[in-house]
């Protein structure tokens, strides 16, 4: 679908000449009355620092996003999720919030945000913002007050405990990012809890004042027109109030990396507690009053799709991300183990599917790199976008963008820097998008050093180089999303598997639509009754005019969408 956009609305502060790529006019989205806007939607994650730099300082910002909204609408996106843009010391690049009701100057102003919302809504795009409720910054006034005055009411907004009898941390809990999850405040002699960096103290959600404060924060952004919230660490807010030791899954030998300690524990007390649902019952009531969606980051143990899906439902979240797909190998065994239970758990669309994210290697890199990795990534995207649930692309996925090697001297991710372990780092999947082959790759101004290196991009790897080329990754993704939208009626249909493990072809039927992907290294034949059938979409674009009666051959690393040939 050709979706023209409005002329780019450039801020007077902009120092960059962004290319409009030929978009003009308004975009309108038509939905059935009474249907939630997120039903049959496709989302797009924007990691703000690396999406588009509107003021020419080398860091992406709100102005840059606004200038690219026309591109996203034309791509076929329904909703954008923007990573944190709040006031922050940037110890974890925005996931350490110092003011939940304001914009960090690096990203713009509240006026910039309001304008972004206005333009997005005019283009038919919904805006989801990242909310970080498990922890705040150690520079937030709440924590500074708690730190300076142990008798302050704010002290109970966090988890403070006396040392263990040996003077060490109160329990054996470990940080997700490596090392213990407790830091000693020498002035008071107590430890405070942080499941992530020491600069990210965990909030105490047993305190009713914390709960009331966050309801007010959500209301603040809903009043500004926000359409939903992606909830960071949605599974971690409630803790076992006794804070007991975690069971040890396996003993450490001493040779492991800093993050191995976290993986050596069974996290039955520090996350995934039943008490979290009481919090989300309150959030759901507020969100529903604004027609806003709650989307949880539920990063629990692998293979537990049913538990992830349980976070979504009446009185809970609307959708919950299932992250197993970002860790599968390109093999039938791995994909079946992920998607058979995942699809069953998402029988009512509860699950959010992420092709890639800012925390994990990009799909083309995970699946072998180069053209092979890109073909597999596109086929993988077909699978995720056609399953019941809410799929999300990660910025650059539509380009087949791979991870960019980052020299240790250019590391920004605190996990890699503090653990002194490049394999822990997330910088390679966070590098800026190449919009064109101009100096600054269309991301920032000529001569400006970006916050992370670009890497070496050929014109064919940029947005400019791929636009209009029917064989490019961008145009094939655009066609996929258009087909998905055209087949929107399938959203309410039950999924029926047509193949089973250990077959190399994963194929399923939803209503009258069949989706198949071949993850083997040889061509495979798929037999389907009820023909004749037409190829509605193929990752090999030259196949879209094919039709057959009962049997079709699927090439290795290929995905197909089939419909009755009426």
- Rg (C-alpha) for the chain, rounded Å, is 24
Tokens of 9: 């609305």
Cis peptide before 404 (omega within 30 of 0): no
Quick one: how far is CA 314 from the chain centroid?
Answer: 23
- Would you tell me the crossing angle of helices 62-75 and 110-122 to the nearest 10 degrees? 10
Rounded distance, CA 425 to CA 257, Å?
13
**Set 112, 232, 270, 413: catalytic member:** 232
DSSP letter for 13, please.
T
Buried residues in 380-408 as b, exposed as e (16+ CB within 10 A): bbbbbbbbbbbbbbbbbbbbbbbbbebee
The Cα–Cα gap between 121 and 66 comes to 11
Question: Taking Cα atoms as reference points, which of 187, 184, 188 lies closest to residue 164?
Answer: 184
3-class SS of residue 480: helix
- Of 74, 297, 324, 504, the active-site residue reads 297
Whether 297 is catalytic: yes
User: Cα separation of 64 and 52, whole Å?
Assistant: 4
The pairing of strands 79-82 and 126-131 is: parallel
Torsion of CA 501, 357, 379, 514, to 10 degrees: 70
The answer to whether 271 and 17 have CB atoms below 8 angstroms apart is: no
Q: Cβ atoms within 10 A of the Cβ of 224, count? A: 14
CA distance readout (Å), 146 to 136, 139, 160, 179, 180: 13, 11, 10, 23, 21
Residue 221: which of 395, 77, 99 has the closest Cα?
Answer: 99
The label of the residue with tokens 């990012």 reads: 177
N- to C-terminal Cα distance for the chain? 22
So which residues are the catalytic ones? Answer: 232, 297
């Amino acid at each position: 679908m050709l979706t023209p956009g409005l002329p780019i609305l450039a801020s007077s502060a902009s120092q960059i000449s962004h290319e409009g790529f030929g978009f003009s006019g308004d975009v309108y989205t038509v939905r059935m009355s009474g249907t939630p806007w997120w039903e049959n939607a496709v989302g797009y994650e924007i990691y703000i620092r690396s999406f588009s730099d509107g003021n020419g300082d080398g860091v992406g910002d709100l102005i840059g996003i606004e200038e690219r909204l026309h591109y996203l609408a034309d791509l076929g996106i329904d909703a954008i999720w923007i990573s944190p843009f709040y006031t922050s010391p940037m110890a974890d690049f925005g996931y350490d919030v110092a003011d939940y009701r304001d914009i960090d100057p690096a990203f713009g102003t509240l006026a910039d945000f309001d304008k972004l919302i206005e333009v997005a809504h005019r283009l038919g795009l919904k805006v989801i913002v990242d909310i970080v409720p498990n922890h705040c910054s150690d520079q937030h006034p709440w924590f500074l007050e708690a730190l300076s005055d142990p008798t302050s009411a704010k002290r109970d907004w966090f988890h403070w405990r006396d040392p263990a009898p040996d003077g060490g941390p109160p329990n054996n809990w470990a940080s997700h990012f490596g090392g213990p999850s407790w830091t000693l405040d020498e002035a008071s002699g107590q430890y405070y809890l942080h499941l992530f960096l020491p600069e990210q103290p965990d909030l105490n959600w047993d305190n009713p004042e914390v709960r009331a404060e966050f309801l007010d924060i959500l209301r603040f952004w809903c009043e500004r027109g926000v359409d939903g919230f992606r909830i960071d660490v949605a599974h971690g807010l409630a803790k076992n109030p006794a804070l007991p030791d975690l069971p040890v899954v396996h003993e450490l030998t001493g040779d492991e990396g800093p993050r191995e300690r976290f993986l050596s524990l069974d996290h039955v007390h520090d996350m995934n507690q039943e008490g979290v649902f009481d919090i989300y019952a309150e959030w759901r009531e507020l969100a529903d009053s604004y027609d806003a969606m709650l989307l949880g980051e539920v990063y629990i143990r692998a293979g537990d799709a049913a538990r992830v899906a349980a976070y979504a439902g009446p009185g809970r979240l609307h959708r919950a991300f299932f992250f197993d797909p970002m860790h599968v190998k390109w093999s039938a065994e791995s994909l079946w183990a992920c998607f058979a239970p995942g699809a069953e758990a998402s029988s009512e669309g509860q699950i959010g599917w992420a092709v890639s994210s800012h925390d994990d290697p990009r799909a083309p890199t995970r699946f072998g790199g180069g053209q092979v990795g890109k073909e597999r990534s596109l086929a993988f995207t077909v699978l995720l976008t056609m399953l019941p649930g809410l799929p999300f692309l990660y910025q650059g996925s539509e380009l087949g963008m791979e991870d960019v090697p980052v020299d240790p001297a250019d590391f920004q991710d605190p996990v890699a820097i503090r653990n002194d372990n490049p394999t822990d780092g997330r910088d390679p999947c966070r590098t800026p998008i190449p919009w064109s082959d101009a100096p600054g790759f269309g991301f920032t101004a000529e001569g400006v050093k970006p916050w992370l290196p670009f890497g070496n991009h050929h014109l064919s790897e940029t947005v400019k180089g791929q636009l209009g080329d029917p064989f490019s990754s961008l145009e094939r993704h655009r066609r996929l999303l258009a087909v998905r939208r055209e087949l929107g009626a399938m959203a309410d249909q039950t999924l029926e598997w047509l193949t089973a493990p250990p077959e190399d072809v994963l194929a399923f039927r939803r209503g009258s639509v069949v989706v198949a992907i071949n993850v083997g290294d040889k061509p495979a034949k798929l037999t389907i009754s009820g023909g004749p059938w037409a190829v509605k979409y193929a990752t090999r674009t030259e196949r879209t005019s094919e039709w057959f009666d009962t049997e079709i051959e699927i090439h290795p690393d290929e995905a197909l969408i089939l419909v009755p040939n009426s």
